[in-house]
Amino acid sequence: MGDQIYGLVLAAGLARRMGATKQLLPFGDKTVLQTVVDTLLGAKLAGVSVILGHDAEAVRDSLKDRLVQFCVNDAYREGMFSSVLCGLRGLPTDADAALIALGDQPQIELNVVRAVVRAYREGSRGIVIPVSGGKRGHPVLINLPRYRREILSLSGDQGLKPVMRGHPQDTLEVPVDDEGILRDLDTPEDYRAEVTRIFNR
């Protein structure tokens, strides 16, 4: 499979349940979003694009020292799928694949990202998804020549599910020994638990 794999970091959400801009919350000596972005940068992708929405300027400013692109999703209140569309529309037309990561999963480690990318490059499947304990998580990798048009045609009511569930014969699930792929930071309790899990081992 092709090498032009671009990372998309979905970081536009309102974070109503968190009560704060979770992308900017501290996570060790970085912020939550800086940690996610640095992990993807460590995977040596063709490029990394961060999708902004809520508190866009502050979030952009937090990444000013990092070599990333930005896509401002003016429709971010419509949900996560609107950020996927924003990110895909901003990628080069010759992009081979998109690795879609969530901006509130700082616990995902580089070895997981590399495992997903390696499985894609070494195989022939157009959709690669990490799984832990039989459950699917993130980041997911999607071949764009095969699926970009289909994704852009979706209404968004079900997000990416019609694609992610609709092509089992072209989907590879990659087992990883990391339940972190299943967790995100939606509430203050989620955040405190993850910080404790990672930094107070």
pLDDT tens for each residue of 160-170 = 999 999 999 99
To the nearest 10 degrees (0 to 180), the angle between helices 32-42 and 110-122 is 40
How confident is the model at residue 156, as a pLDDT? 78
Q: Tell me: cis bond preceding 139? Omega within 30 of 0 counts.
A: yes
pLDDT tens for each residue of 23-45 = 999 999 999 999 999 999 999 99
18, HSE (Cβ side, Cα atoms, 13 Å): 17
pLDDT tens for each residue of 89-140 = 999 999 999 999 999 999 999 999 999 999 999 999 999 999 999 999 999 9
CA-CA-CA-CA torsion for 17, 25, 104, 77, nearest 10 degrees?
50
CATH of region 5-196, choose from 3.40.50.1100, 1.10.8.60, 3.40.50.720, 3.90.550.10: 3.90.550.10
List, in sequence order, every residue forming a beta bridge with 143; answer none if it has no partner: 97
CA distance 68 to 10: 13
**For residue 86, is pLDDT > 80?**
yes
Bridging pattern class, strands 135-136 and 127-132 = antiparallel
How confident is the model at residue 2, as a pLDDT? 67
Q: Model pTM?
A: 0.95
How confident is the model at residue 17, as a pLDDT? 75
Confidence of residue 14 (pLDDT cuts 50, 70, 90): confident
Listed in sequence order, the residues at least 6 apart from 59 whose beta carbon sits closer than 8 Å to its beta carbon are: 11, 21, 23, 24, 33, 50, 52
